[in-house]
Amino acid sequence: METLQSQVLITSRVEETAERLRQQAQEAGVRLIPILREGSFKVEDVELALEKAYLASEEEQVILLAGETFSEVVQNKLLKVIEEPPPKKSFILLFRSKASVLPTIRSRLPIRVLERESEEEPLGLDLATLEIGSVYEFLQRHNRIGASEARKIVERLLKEALASGAYDLDERALDTFRDGVRALDRGSPGSFVLTAVLLKLLAKRRKKHRRL
């Protein structure tokens, strides 16, 4: 059961988690102030959160922030108020991916993962036998993918590519993955980023792993 203290909660069930927190706040006599976004959490959303945080209050309040993604700019704008919150104010941030939480946020707030990472669905792409045909089919299945799901796939692609030993992943290739994650945080289409990453993997397959 989640507490109402300042923290980061990692969950794919944002609405369900927000509702549980609302019920807990009601039972504890604490006011919950939700700022929930279906898309990316934006700078103007941070400004709204700060406005709520600095309003004087005699009651305990928890400001709940959630979005599809939190960019580096957004997270950095939240640092000061998270590090030195006004009296009687706490912050709970709902992230969909632990990897997207900046180190600066990690150092200031405890992180709890609410769902086991082992519950993730099969990737649906065999990196040991990757070829243009399977890449095309994979991209067709994910042509309308959201940013948070695309981020998870990018992270898994890198993990499985490294584990397979079938790719020459030099620093430039790794930059493609890092840049892809940053692009998703800035609002780039998930399908565009997946295409760039998978084409890079195809180009970096070791010769002995390529089909003749």
pLDDT computed for residue 86 by the predictor: 94
User: Quick check: 5 pLDDT over 50?
Assistant: yes
Question: Measured between alpha carbons, how far is 135 from 3 in angstroms, rounded to an integer?
Answer: 43
How sure is the predictor about 187, in pLDDT bands with cuts at 50, 70 and 90? confident
User: Quick check: 198 pLDDT over 60?
Assistant: yes
Sheet holding 111-113, edge to edge: 31-36, 61-66, 89-95, 7-10, 111-113
Average pLDDT, the chain: 88
pLDDT computed for residue 118 by the predictor: 43
Strand ranges in the chain using DSSP code E only, listed in sequence order: 7-10, 31-36, 61-66, 89-95, 111-113
pLDDT computed for residue 116 by the predictor: 58
User: Quick check: 3 pLDDT over 80?
Assistant: no
pLDDT computed for residue 120 by the predictor: 55
Are 173 and 197 a contacting pair, CB within 8 Å?
no
What are 38-70's pLDDT values in tens digits? 888 999 999 999 999 999 888 999 999 999 889
User: Quick check: 121 pLDDT over 90?
Assistant: no
Q: CB neighbours (10 Å) of residue 126? A: 11
Greater model confidence, 118 or 134: 134
Q: What percent of the chain has pLDDT over 90?
A: 57
In this structure, what is the dihedral angle of CA atoms 52, 53, 56, 61, given to the nearest 10 degrees? 90
Are 26 and 55 a contacting pair, CB within 8 Å?
no
How sure is the predictor about 2, in pLDDT bands with cuts at 50, 70 and 90? low
User: Quick check: 212 pLDDT over 50?
Assistant: no
- pTM across the whole model: 0.60
User: Quick check: 108 pLDDT over 70?
Assistant: yes
DSSP state of 70: B
How sure is the predictor about 208, in pLDDT bands with cuts at 50, 70 and 90? low
